[in-house]
Structure 1
Amino acid sequence: MDKLTHVESGDKSPAYQHLETSGDVLTRHEERDLKRGLAQRHVSMIALAGAIGTGLFLSLGGSIATGGPLGSLLAYSFIGLIVCAVQFALGEVSALLPVTGSFVRHAEALSDPALGFALGWTIVYGTWLSIPSEISAICVLFGYWTDVNPSAWIMTFIVLTAIVAFSKIRYFGEIEFVSALLKILLIVGIILLGLITALGGVPGVPRVGFRYWRDPGPFVPYLADGSWGRFLGFWSVLINAVFSFSGIESIAMAAAEMRNPRVVIPKACKRVFARVALFYVLAVLVVGMIVPSNDPRLSEDSGTAATSPFVLATAAARVAAIPHIVNAVVITSAWSSGNQALLSGSRVLYSLALKGQAPRFFLRTTRWGTPWACAATYVLSSFLAFMALSASAITVFYWFVSLVGCGVLISWSCVLFNHLRLRMAFRKQGIDARRLPWHNAWTRELPICSSDASVLVRRCPLLLHHHPADQWLCRVHQGQLVRLGVYHCLLVSTARGGADYRDIGLVAAVFLGWKLIKKTRWVRLADIPLEEILSAMEALPEEKDERPRGAVRFISWLWD
């Protein structure tokens, strides 16, 4: 029997009737139909695999060319702090409410059912498009080695995606575990080789050190000269950093399929952030040391390992296999990203069906606990990858993708808002927050600061578009940043049809539509049944996972 509070149809208690409509505990469908196949190591490595993606392997060079080595390092570190806030906020809420759909269901339980509905369907829509996007990227990556018709690769990875979609959740966990290990081994190898090269450890290669930080310099002016231009260079890297970290918020999407989620989720959140931050900071530092920001190759984008900053950074070592290794790992990374999109999207769709916000057909599962009806819709959506073979079709496809272009920041903002609402409910009801299964005293004010930062970063594209008025606007004095932002928002939104606000407009329209139709009400803080949830949790504590034994313990620090 599951140790979490769950709802049976015959419960008459007012508190449990509220739980059944708020979505903050396992429903009997989750408890009966889903299987707990994800262990601690799976959850930690799924988070690592989601956070270390193709953005780091292929886009880092463009960031250094735009912002310089120090500008890029500061930008990635700044976004890393936001990621820390998101991880810890998500961990606190998910450890208390470990349900399918994670922060989507949390939004319904802690704020408004209409908000959960809007976020849920936005994520479902975005992940439907993510899988064919990743498959299209894989075709480009294989083009580095062969000129085989892309249709063959598209069909191959559609089949592989379908196999993963309908398999047991444990097999998905094992695939992501291996994928994350490959990424980590590549990053560690590149960092070590890069440091050896920079410090003169490669015969015939002079010591570089921090030479390129002096010439051409630690920052690159962007759109303007002087200190203002250097600031804009740093600012422009922020949005690249966001997409490099994207995926880290999906760690708890399948919480109802985890063993001991109230123990596993906090451990994964605490450990994953430290590892991701370490890998990112060192990778950005090493590439910035070895490759000058004015190297023209950094601005090239073949979509393969040929222009990967990791390959450029280790070119001096003259290891012929490195480009092929990087390309192979990036292929597994792209496939892993598609699989994660499938897992997140299918579980969110399942959670919407649980609450009557999607057809109940999507509640159907296999005997081994996979929601096959939800997974089938994602397998069908993967056939959109064939649109990449047509110039006109790919234009339409990426127009659809642009509708959720910055959905990552919307998801992060929602995670932080959920955490804020939960903490407010604890204070409103006079309950000690230390009763949470995972509690951090310093996170009390963190959601507010991080939400402000997310909103600020969300305006990056508006401030930095290559619009004819950019040069004029960027000559505005540095002290007029607010006025610059307002003018540029109006100008670019008018000129581009508000493209940068499509994702926000989509969420707002769906939220208002559902709220008007269903007449949903904002959840009062006093009505959130925290005492019932905490009492049930304390009555049935979860068991801690056993520590690894044998030779595995020497590498288990990666996930344990």
Structure 2
Amino acid sequence: MEKDNPPSHEHEVCIVDEIESQRLAKGLEQRHVQMIAIAGAIGTGLFLGLGSSIQTGGPLGALLGYALVGTVVCAVQFALGEVSALMPVTGSFVRHVEVLVDPGLAFAVGWNVVYGALTSVPSEITACVVLIQYWSETDAAVWVTVMIVATAAMALLFVRAYGEIEFVLAILKILLIVGVVLMGLVIDLGGVPGQPRLGFHYWRDPGPFVAYIATGSWGQFLGFWAVMSNAVYSFAGVESLAMAAAEMRNPRQNLPKACKRVFARVTLFYLVSVLIVGMLVSSSDPRLADESGTAAESPFVIAASDAGIKVVPSIINAVVLSSAFSSSNQSILAGTRTLYGLALKGHAPRVFLQTTRQGVPWVCALLQIAVCGLAYLTCSNSALNVFYWLLDLTAAGVLISWSTVALNHIRLILACRSQGISPRELPWHNPATYYSSWFALVMCQIFLWTGGFAVFTRGNWSAADFVSSYLDIPLVLVFYLGYKFWKKTKIVPLKDIPIRQALLEAENDPENVPIKASGWSRLNILWG
């Protein structure tokens, strides 16, 4: 096993490091892992962002867009589950890429993830403050302070407490989705007194698709394609499920279960929600353009208001507030654990390896808490522009992360073939995942390079949109090539990837035993 010293060579035989196995507490159980996965995938994008998708692509365009991205997400999760079951390490795909591809790429992608997490937490704090001000007119700085204190507490809590909080927040989100979908069906079918039956009226008028930028069939296709960006960022965060793999109990069994089961359910949640919203609200409704950041812009709220149901806005605003707080928690987990993993491999200062007695990497957490002060910039209009510029630097980071996950899995399978190892020897494997990973990698690259296509059309140039869509690409390339030049790293040859060592560690892992459901848990469709 690796000792507590900086790595001195390009490629390590050790997979799960002695430091992380001894210092980090295994506080996350199966129900935590699967519900964290749901909590991470269902965020403000589902409750507030669907309206923008309907307005841009139409009801059918939005449904097809979310279905395509949902398929990519499922492919990414299968790839993540297969590699993580073999290598359940802190930092997840960032550590995987070090072993499977190139240490230089691990450095570049890892710091990209850390930077994205550091800036997204104050962003989520700002979103929470906006949602709170839906009810209260108290000075924003007061609520920013309250949220920073709450965030600091979350960052320093031991991982089991984090798991319990995310478990509860995930249940609240699921209850809200089920509730608004049932409400939508009642409204659509004419179940509200005095309201007509809608059916698929809005699919006929103004129609299933919306022309975006151009006219005719080409404009309708562009409307469908523009939905992709909203869909991608609605699912953002799903890749961080395995970031705390070293803090999970029986990760080689629990991670594949979470990746395999949860995201099919999450995709179903999204598709049903998009379908219902497209039936309830016209794509030409001007209220869908509301950018208040509160429940007022939710298409579910618009439909409920039209039906005379007054209590819905506050309920949705409250759960969206919990979603924003949950997204903040997830960014904290992703950022701190990635930074810990980088320090473990010598890509960050070793001071970040310091942990509390409860196994919390407290130095990593303190850095995250310090950066939360950026949320105060939102109290000033001029400073707000600076804050959004910092946030936009890694807006495309989610697609880079998904591409990395797919690439890791492809390299793992190729390495198995090169070394004469059957992929069936892996802790979890499905023959179709090799092809689905190629599909995910190609689609993520297409999304990445076409995400800002609108800025290249006549009259739609926007420097801010161009930066948010594309600046992250050269940033990652500069970090990657700069590290390769400085450290003289090379792409790891397929024959040198330590699959046998990883398989040996998996075989000798006393926790690595199949999980069998018993009693009522066999009927549990959420985390059983």
Global fold match (TM > 0.5): yes
**Would you say 1:80 and 2:70 are equivalent positions?**
yes
Once the two structures are superposed, the pairs formed by residues 246-285 of structure 1 within 5 Å of their partners are: 246-285=236-275
Q: Is contact 1:23-1:108 (8 Å) kept?
A: no
**Distance verdict in 2 for CA 1:423–1:191, change over 3 Å:** same
Counterpart Cα distance in 2 of 1:358 and 1:365? 15
**Distance verdict in 2 for CA 1:494–1:190, change over 3 Å:** closer
Partner of 1:526: 495
Counterpart Cα distance in 1 of 2:4 and 2:464? 54
Partner of 1:511: 480
Partner of 1:558: 526
Q: Deviations over 1:101-154 (max 9, x none)?
A: 000000111111110011111111111100100011111111111101111111
Partner of 1:193: 183
Question: Which of the residues 421, 432, 451 maps onto 2:422?
Answer: 432
Counterpart Cα distance in 2 of 1:24 and 1:404? 31
Q: Is contact 2:198-2:280 (8 Å) kept?
A: yes
Q: Displaced runs of 4+ in structure 1, greater than 2 A?
A: 6-10, 20-24, 313-319, 459-462, 465-470, 492-501, 538-541, 543-550
**Distance verdict in 2 for CA 1:24–1:396, change over 3 Å:** farther
Once the two structures are superposed, the pairs formed by residues 406-485 of structure 1 within 5 Å of their partners are: 406-465=396-455, 468-469=458-459
Once the two structures are superposed, the pairs formed by residues 354-369 of structure 1 within 5 Å of their partners are: 354-369=344-359
Secondary structure of the 2:48 match is helix
Partner of 2:12: 22
**Distance verdict in 2 for CA 1:135–1:538, change over 3 Å:** same
Once the two structures are superposed, the pairs formed by residues 29-68 of structure 1 within 5 Å of their partners are: 29-68=19-58
Partner of 2:163: 173
Q: Deviations over 1:254-280 (max 9, x none)?
A: 000000000000100111111101100
Q: Deviations over 1:487-528 (max 9, x none)?
A: xxxxx6999876632101111111111111111121111011
Counterpart Cα distance in 2 of 1:90 and 1:439? 11
Q: Which is further off, 201-210 or 537-546?
A: 537-546
Counterpart Cα distance in 2 of 1:379 and 1:312? 36
Once the two structures are superposed, the pairs formed by residues 187-226 of structure 1 within 5 Å of their partners are: 187-226=177-216
Give the partner amino acid of 1:321: V
Q: Is contact 1:124-1:345 (8 Å) kept?
A: yes
Partner of 1:501: 470
Once the two structures are superposed, the pairs formed by residues 336-355 of structure 1 within 5 Å of their partners are: 336-355=326-345
**Distance verdict in 2 for CA 1:316–1:499, change over 3 Å:** closer
Give the partner amino acid of 2:494: L
Counterpart Cα distance in 2 of 1:270 and 1:341? 22
Counterpart Cα distance in 2 of 1:498 and 1:208? 41
Counterpart Cα distance in 2 of 1:238 and 1:17? 43
C-alpha deviation, 1:548, in angstroms:
6.3
Secondary structure of the 1:505 match is helix
Q: Which is further off, 309-318 or 234-243?
A: 309-318
Unaligned runs of 5+ in 1: 1-5, 11-15, 471-491
Q: Which is further off, 199-208 or 97-106?
A: 199-208
C-alpha deviation, 1:469, in angstroms:
4.6
Partner of 2:131: 141
Q: Deviations over 1:78-120 (max 9, x none)?
A: 0001001100000000000000000000011111111001111
Give the partner amino acid of 1:295: D
Aligned residues, how many?
526
**Distance verdict in 2 for CA 1:39–1:367, change over 3 Å:** same
**Would you say 1:543 and 2:513 are equivalent positions?**
yes
Q: Deviations over 1:328-386 (max 9, x none)?
A: 00111101101100000000000111011111110000001000000110011111100
Once the two structures are superposed, the pairs formed by residues 388-407 of structure 1 within 5 Å of their partners are: 388-407=378-397
C-alpha deviation, 1:545, in angstroms:
4.1
Q: Is contact 1:68-1:288 (8 Å) kept?
A: yes
Q: Which is further off, 541-550 or 22-31?
A: 541-550
Give the partner amino acid of 1:353: A
C-alpha deviation, 1:459, in angstroms:
2.8
Q: Is contact 1:98-1:256 (8 Å) kept?
A: yes
Give the partner amino acid of 1:43: V
Q: Is contact 1:238-1:460 (8 Å) kept?
A: no
Q: Is contact 2:394-2:468 (8 Å) kept?
A: no
Q: Which is further off, 493-502 or 44-53?
A: 493-502
Q: Deviations over 1:224-278 (max 9, x none)?
A: 1111111011011110000000111001000000000000001001111111011
Give the partner amino acid of 2:322: T
**Distance verdict in 2 for CA 1:77–1:496, change over 3 Å:** closer
Q: Is contact 1:90-1:103 (8 Å) kept?
A: yes
Counterpart Cα distance in 1 of 2:293 and 2:406? 33
Secondary structure of the 2:452 match is helix
C-alpha deviation, 1:532, in angstroms:
2.3
Counterpart Cα distance in 2 of 1:361 and 1:17? 18
Q: Deviations over 1:200-219 (max 9, x none)?
A: 12222111100110011000
**Distance verdict in 2 for CA 1:323–1:498, change over 3 Å:** closer
Question: Which of the residues 79, 89, 99 maps onto 2:89?
Answer: 99
**Distance verdict in 2 for CA 1:126–1:518, change over 3 Å:** same
Question: Which of the residues 91, 105, 112 maps onto 2:102?
Answer: 112
Partner of 1:489: none
C-alpha deviation, 1:544, in angstroms:
3.7
Q: Is contact 1:92-1:438 (8 Å) kept?
A: yes
**Distance verdict in 2 for CA 1:494–1:59, change over 3 Å:** closer
Q: Which is further off, 196-205 or 163-172?
A: 196-205
Give the partner amino acid of 2:448: R
Q: Is contact 1:260-1:544 (8 Å) kept?
A: no
Q: Is contact 1:65-1:294 (8 Å) kept?
A: yes
**Percent of residue pairs bearing the same amino acid type:** 54
Counterpart Cα distance in 2 of 1:90 and 1:459? 23
